[in-house]
Structure 1
Amino acid sequence: MTDASLHLTDRGRAALSHVWQSGRIWIAIMMILFVTALFDPAQGRESLAFTARALLETAPYLLLSIGLAAYAGATGADGLIARAFTGAPVLMIALAAALGGLSPFCSCGVIPLIAALLAMGVPLSAVMAFWLASPVIDPSMYALTVGVLGFEFATAKTLAAIGLGLFGGYITLILTRAGALSTPLREGVGNGGCGASSIRDPKPPVWAFWQDDARRVKFAREGLTTTLFLAKWLTLAFVLESLMVAYVPADWVASAVGGEGIGSVLVATLVGVPAYLNGYAALPLVSGLIEQGMAPGAGLAFLVAGGVTSLPAAIAVWALARPQVFALYVGLALTGSLTAGLLFQAWIGA
C-alpha cells in the first residue's frame, strides 16, 4: 500500500471517529431528555425550552467568535492576531488579563476564541490569563453588579477577575517553561504547530477572502466545524444545567454558603462551581444571602468561582482542552477565587 493510500486511510478513520464521537454526544442528550420526560413530563418540556433559550441567548457571542475565527483563518490574519499575543511573556499575560476583564464574552462565548488562539500557536500562559479573567466581569456585568451589590463589590469583582488572570497566566508560564502542557488542545480540535508556523513564516493577509475560491471554502469549513463542535457540547451543558436548576433548590445553596468567616468563603468557593447558574441570575441571590448574614468575601468567591467554572463552561473546556489543562484551569479558578474572597473579606474587616 502506498504512502498516499495510507494517508487517506488514516484520514478516513479520523473522520469516522469524529462522526462517532459527535453522535455519542447527541445520543446522550436525547437519552437525558427522554428519561427526564418519562419520569417528569413537565420538567422534560422545561429542560427543552431552557436549552433552546440558553442557546439563543448565547448565540450572538458564539456567532461573533466563530465568525472572527473563521475570517482570521480564511484571510490569513490569524498570524497577525497570534503575534499580538506574543512577545515578552510577562507583558503579554498582563495585557491578556486586562483585556479579559474588559471583554464582553461570557464563559461559553469565549470558548471558540480560545480555541482559535491556541490553534494559532498563541502561548498557553497568555491564553489562560484571558480565559480565566474574561467570564468573571464585563462592562454590562459591572454596571449590573453596581446596581445590585454596590460600587465597592463591583470594583472588587473586576480586580478579582484581572488578578485571577494574572495569577493563572504566571503559574501557567512557570509550568510551560518547565516543559509541561506542550499540547493543550485535544486531538482534532486544533494544531498549534500549524498556527505557530504562520507566526514563524508570516504572509500578508488577504482581507477580501471572498474573491478566492479556496479561501471561501476554508471560511465555510472552519466556521461549520467550530459551530458543530460547540453546538453538541453546549447543548449537553445547558440540558444538564436545566436539571440542576430544577433539582438543586436555591435555599440549599443559601444554607450551604451562609454565615461568616474563612469557612464560609471556602464553602462558597466549592459550592459556587456546581451550584452556579448564571452571572446575572446569581447577583440577586448573592445580594439576598449577604442581607441574611453571608460574608461579602464569601459572596465574591461564589461569583468568581462560579463564573469561571460554571457547568456550561466546564463542559466546553473539557471538550476543548486536554485533561491536564482542564485540571489546571479548575485548580487555578478555585485557588484564585478563594484568595480573592479572603482578601476582600480582610479588606472589608479592616
Structure 2
Amino acid sequence: MFEIFTRLADWTIADLLTLEPGTKLADAVHFFVEDTTKIFFLLVIVVFVMGLFRTMLSPEKVRGYIEGTSRGIGYVLAVILGAVTPFCSCSSVPLFIGFLEGGIPVGVTMAFLITSPLVNEVAVVILGSIMGWKMTTVYVVTGMSVGILGGILIDRLHMERWVEDYVWKIRMGTIAQSEVDGSMAGRIRYAWGEVKDIVGRIWLYIIIGVGIGSALHGYVPQELFAQYASADNPFAVPVAVLMGLPLYSNATGIIPVAEALIAKGVPIGTVIAFMMSVVGISPPEFIMLRKVLKPQMLIFFGVFLTISFMVVGYLLNVIFA
C-alpha cells in the first residue's frame, strides 16, 4: 500500500535531484521524502476519520461512560478512552473539572489525562505503518499501563487535597463544546475543519521531526549509537529520558526520529522511553493544568512520569534483548 511513497522518494533521488544512490545525502533525502509524504497522507486520512468520530463522541459522553463505574473498571475505561478520544491538551482543564463534578475520582481522571497525550490515535496508525505493529502494540500497552499506575498512586496517596479549592466548588452540568451540524454534510465539514486545524498546528513539528530523523539516518554513524546508546550502557535510558524532557513535540512528530534511532540499532526500550519523555511531559498541558492543580500535584506528576519512562525503558530493553 505504501510502496508509492518509496517510489516517489526513488524518483526524487534519481530523476529530480540526480543524486548518487547510497551516499549520505541521498539516504537522508530519501528518508525525508518517503516519511514526509507517508506521514502527511496518513495524517489527513486518520484525522478526517477521527473528526467524523468526534461528532458522535462529546467530552460529556466520555464522562458519562466513566461515571458510576467501580474504581478498577474506571481506571481501565479512563485509559482506553484517553487513547481513543481525539481531545488535545487544550481540553484538559474543562475535562478535568467536568470529570470531578461528575463524581469521578481524581486518580481515574488523571489516568485519562496521562494516557491521552501518550497514546494518540493518529500516532498509533502512523507508528504502526512505519515501524510495525509489534512496536506499536508495545508502545500502546506501556502508555496505558503508566496511566493506570499513575491513577492508582494518586488515589492511594489521597492527592485530591492538591486540587485547587475552587475546582470543588464548581458545578458544571455539561462540558462546553461547540455545536456540530448532525447531518452528513455537516459532519464532513466538521471533519475537514479538524484536518485543516490539526495539520495546520502540527505540520512544522512533523517537518522538524522528519528532518532530524533524516539527519540521523543519513549522517550520524551507527558506531556512535552503538557506543553511547546501546543496551550495554546502563545510563542510556536515563540520558534519553532527560534529553526528551526539554523538547516538545506530539507523538506524530517524534515518530521519524524514533524510526531513525531504531534503524541505527538503539534498543527499543531506550527509543520508547525517549518518545514518551518528549510526548508525555507537555509544557502546554502543564501550564493549563496549573490552573486546577497545586504545585505539589504537578511536581508529583512530572517526577512520576520521568521515573516511569526510565523503568519502561529498562524493562523493555531486558525483554527485547
Q: What is the TM-score of this pair, normalised by structure 2? A: 0.60
Aligned residue number for residue 108 of structure 2: 126
1:95-174 → structure 2 map (5 Å cutoff) = 95-174=77-156
Aligned residue number for residue 282 of structure 2: 310
| Cα separation, partners in 2 of 1:118 and 1:291, compared to 1, 3 Å | same
Residues 1:260 and 2:230 are matched in the alignment: yes
1:323-334 → structure 2 map (5 Å cutoff) = 323-334=295-306
Give, in angstroms, the shift of residue 306 of structure 1: 2.0
- Aligned residue pairs: how many? 232
| Cα separation, partners in 2 of 1:260 and 1:276, compared to 1, 3 Å | farther
Give, in angstroms, the shift of residue 95 of structure 1: 2.0
Residues 1:89 and 2:71 are matched in the alignment: yes
Aligned residue number for residue 160 of structure 2: 181
Tell me, in whole angstroms, the C-alpha distance in 2 between the residues paired with 1:279 and 1:339.
20
Query: Once the two structures are superposed, what CA deviation does each residue of 1:202-252 show, in whole Å capped at 9, x if it has no partner?
Result: xxx8xxxxxxxxxxxx98xx669xxxxxxxxxxxxx9xx99xx8xxx8879
Tell me, in whole angstroms, the C-alpha distance in 2 between the residues paired with 1:106 and 1:340.
24
Let me know the Cα RMSD of the aligned residues.
3.8
Query: Once the two structures are superposed, what CA deviation does each residue of 1:134-185 show, in whole Å capped at 9, x if it has no partner?
Result: 1112332211001222211111110011101111011111111xxx432513
Residues 1:271 and 2:243 are matched in the alignment: yes
Tell me, in whole angstroms, the C-alpha distance in 1 between the residues paired with 2:265 and 2:134.
18
Tell me, in whole angstroms, the C-alpha distance in 1 between the residues paired with 2:169 and 2:64.
12
SS at match of 2:246: helix
168, 192, 196: which one aligns with 2:168: 192
- Asked if the contact 2:93–2:291 (Cα under 8 Å) also holds between the matched residues in 1, the reply is no
- Gap runs ≥5 in structure 1: 1-56, 199-204, 206-217, 225-237
| Cα separation, partners in 2 of 1:327 and 1:312, compared to 1, 3 Å | same
- Gap runs ≥5 in structure 2: 1-46, 179-200
- Asked if the contact 1:264–1:298 (Cα under 8 Å) also holds between the matched residues in 2, the reply is yes
299, 307, 321: which one aligns with 2:293: 321
Tell me, in whole angstroms, the C-alpha distance in 2 between the residues paired with 1:103 and 1:267.
31
Tell me, in whole angstroms, the C-alpha distance in 1 between the residues paired with 2:63 and 2:249.
33
| Cα separation, partners in 2 of 1:174 and 1:83, compared to 1, 3 Å | same
Tell me, in whole angstroms, the C-alpha distance in 1 between the residues paired with 2:161 and 2:102.
14
Give, in angstroms, the shift of residue 336 of structure 1: 1.9
Give, in angstroms, the shift of residue 126 of structure 1: 0.3
Query: Once the two structures are superposed, what CA deviation does each residue of 1:254-283 show, in whole Å capped at 9, x if it has no partner?
Result: 989961234111111222221232211110
Query: Once the two structures are superposed, what CA deviation does each residue of 1:318-347 show, in whole Å capped at 9, x if it has no partner?
Result: 333211121122122112222222222111
SS at match of 2:266: coil
Tell me, in whole angstroms, the C-alpha distance in 2 between the residues paired with 1:192 and 1:256.
50
Q: Larger deviation: 86-95 or 151-160?
A: 86-95
